[in-house]
Each structure stands twice: as C-alpha cells, then as structure tokens.
Structure 1
C-alpha cells in the first residue's frame, strides 16, 4: 500500500508539473514573448528552467503539440505554430486561392510525377480495374515558406493526356479547366487523424510519429465521372475546419 501511495503521489506531482509547463509556455505565446515560428528554448534549458526531467518536459510538449500550439522539426527543435488556415472542404476553391484569400503566401513543390501501376485501394477509389495504369503526382505545399502538406494525386490518364508535361507546380484545378475543359463536380471527402507516413515526414522534415490530418478526396467532374483521387497529409496545426451546410 505504501508503495502504491508513493507512486500515486509521484504521478500527481508529475501531472502538476506538466500542467505548469503547459500553462507557462502558453502564456509566453499569448503574451507575445514567443511569436509564430519562433523556436522554443532547447529541451535541456527548459528542463532546467522548470526543474524537471526530460521525460516530464516531453509529456508537456506533446500535449501542446496535440493542441496545435507548437510543432517539432527533426533535429531543429520545437517551434510556435503559425495561425491556422480556415478550410471549408465543401468549397471548390484550390490551395493557392484559399491561402491567398487569407493573406498568406502559397507555394508548391513537385517531388516527382509519372505513370504507375495503381495500388489496389487507389483502383477502388478511381473505379478502375485492378492493375490499371494511372498518373501519380507527389507534391509538397507551403504556406509562408513553411511546408504544411504532403499530397499524392492519382489521375485517370484517359482524361488528362500529356498532363505530366505541364507545369505541375500550378493549381491542378486551373490546369484541368484551362487545358482539358474539366471542372470539379461532386467530391467524396474523408478525414482521419493519424501520424505521417515515412515519405511524408521526410518530405516535410518532421520528426517520426508527428501528428497529421489525413484527408482523402475522390473527385468527379461536371459530368459525374471519377477523374482523380488525392491523398493529403496535413500538419496537424495547419487547418481550422469550418463547414456550413445548407
């Protein structure tokens, strides 16, 4: 009983310390002592400042990360998250337009693009036979220079001949409309909290097991045909989902 009582007291003390650290760092941000994208002091310095262990400190930092207040980058440390982008998945705007409309600066980097044999889940999404060939475009998207989104686009090549020769750093939405006369119609949208897969964390330079928001889109055109599928991995602290349905 004594041992259990001591463990309970130690756990209670640790939780109080975690709460105190969270409140202190939140206060620094709210009072302007730390601004958007500022780096937090090193973990060693924070541990000394709060007179605690690295394990307890990391528990507190993990809670702040889950709230979207801070984020971690591999080998660089912890940073204050910038303001979130308001995102309505029911609108047909595209990434560049959405970001610009909110006074921010968008950019897109193409990691690679080519024709591949479709993985079975993508065949299902695109309503194609198993083993079909599709175009795959992998991109990283940035807001104010910060990489926030890793996305894999899977396109039915029958609708987009020679699209891989186009400027794929631009909006696919505009490319579809301007070069192929294709406009988005209905969209099937699924959202799931998860962690970044290896390819995404490497592309965004994130630490392993960083939290992500995984969005799957299956897009139809104005004629009701399934034309493409997007697999999007967003930084957890990037989006404020705001939907108004009629």
Structure 2
C-alpha cells in the first residue's frame, strides 16, 4: 500500500470497518498494537493512527491510556423521557452496571452551580464525584451537586448505590421535573482521568437540573460520557 496520500488512511479505515461490521472483530476485543497494524498494512504508524482516529470519531473503536485500541461495544439506549437511574437503565438492557465513588464532600458552590441551583453567593453544596462502568468498561464520569438543606448527612451513606433510591428511602424525596442540556465536548482533566482516556478525547456533556415531587430545586448532575457509549433519544407524545 502506498503511503503518499489520504487514500491510505481511508483504505485502512474501510478495511477495519468491514471486519467490525462482519463480526470478525467482535465488540470489546482488543486490536493489535499500532506497530503490528502498520506492518499488516505495509504503512507507517502515523497513517494507522489517522485511520484509527477516523474510526474513533465514528464510535467504532475506542482507546484507553496505556492499554491500546478496542472495538466499541453496543451503545446504551438513553431515553430522556423515561424516569430511571443508571443501574436500572443498564440492567434493563441486559448489561452490568457498576459505580465507583471518587470523592464526596461539602464545599463552596462555584458560580456555575449557584446559578444552576439558584443559590445565593458563598453557598455550600455537597459534591459527589463518581465513575461508572458498563460491562466493566468505564463510560461515564459524573459530578453531582446537592443542596445540603435537603440531604443532611448524605456523605455518610454508601454512595456506590443509586442516589435516586437513596433519596427515596432515607429522605422521602422523589424526582419531579428534570431539565436537560447536552453538548458535544472535549473531556476535561477530571473526566479524562476518571475514564482513563487522553485529555481532550471526544465526549458528550449532559447537564441535568432536578426538582423533587414538591417542585423544589434539589440537585444537579454534570455527566461526561464517552461519545461512543450512548444513544440518546426522546419520544414526545402529541
């Protein structure tokens, strides 16, 4: 294969895509090292890397720091209109969910969080940072910000569990209205470190502002997903 034009990158990308689509490279399997691929295609590692980056942008492959390239598993269906939580949503689709607590503490609220939760200046919030896995793959880093007025002592609970269920069982609080905002993003430092990907990797940022059954503004979540991990949908009845 000549390595003198973008045709080489396209040819490698299409060859790997065909193998993926025909099941020869199954979901979650590890690709050979870039050096091995460059030998296979008789080209340079730079050209192979460009082809892999094209496939990553399409959501067909992903990479992990110091581990290499893998075939992306099926996306999780994320229905904005369905009232559920991460563990229930993942389990309902026949997959295995896991939550890992990174930190939980009371801290001063940033200007952004004050705005989202409609708090006055110099307010405190409970920040809970967690990483989440689907079928052992890290897919989501989320920062939860809670109004401490409604959740006294929450940092003393097991926060690996569903916060939705914890709210209901210990605080008699259930979600009411939820507001979503979504934007594509480049993963920032904390999210990239939690997901074990390179800084600036493509991601999807989902901001959720949550009210309870009484209409009180109780918390907000800022989620950072691997861009190939979910398929977002919403069905609005007319």
Give the structure-1-normalised TM-score: 0.92
For 2:139, the equivalent position in structure 1 comes to: 148
For 2:235, the equivalent position in structure 1 comes to: 244
For 2:14, the equivalent position in structure 1 comes to: 23
User: Take 1:14 and 1:191, find their aligned partners in 2: how far apart are those partners?
Assistant: 37
Report if aligned partners of 1:14, 1:56 keep a CA contact under 8 Å in 2: no
1:70-81 matched pairs, under 5 angstroms: 70-81=61-72
User: Take 2:51 and 2:203, find their aligned partners in 1: how far apart are those partners?
Assistant: 19
1:54 aligns with 2:45: yes
State how many pairs are aligned: 236
Please tell me whether Structure 1 or Structure 2 has the larger radius of gyration of its CA atoms.
Answer: 1
- Of 194, 199, 202, which aligns to 2:190? 199
Alignment RMSD (CA, Å)? 1.4
**3-state SS of paired residue (1:142):** strand
Give the structure-2-normalised TM-score: 0.95
- Of 166, 182, 193, which aligns to 1:175? 166
**3-state SS of paired residue (1:27):** helix
User: Take 1:170 and 1:14, find their aligned partners in 2: how far apart are those partners?
Assistant: 51
- Of 154, 160, 181, which aligns to 1:163? 154
1:1-246 matched pairs, under 5 angstroms: 14-246=5-237
How far has the Cα of 1:56 moved from its partner? Answer: 2.1
Unaligned runs of 5+ in 1: 1-9
Unaligned runs of 5+ in 2: none
How far has the Cα of 1:55 moved from its partner? Answer: 2.3
User: Which portions of structure 1, spanning 4 or more consecutive aligned residues, are displaced by more than 4 angstroms?
Assistant: none
**3-state SS of paired residue (2:183):** strand
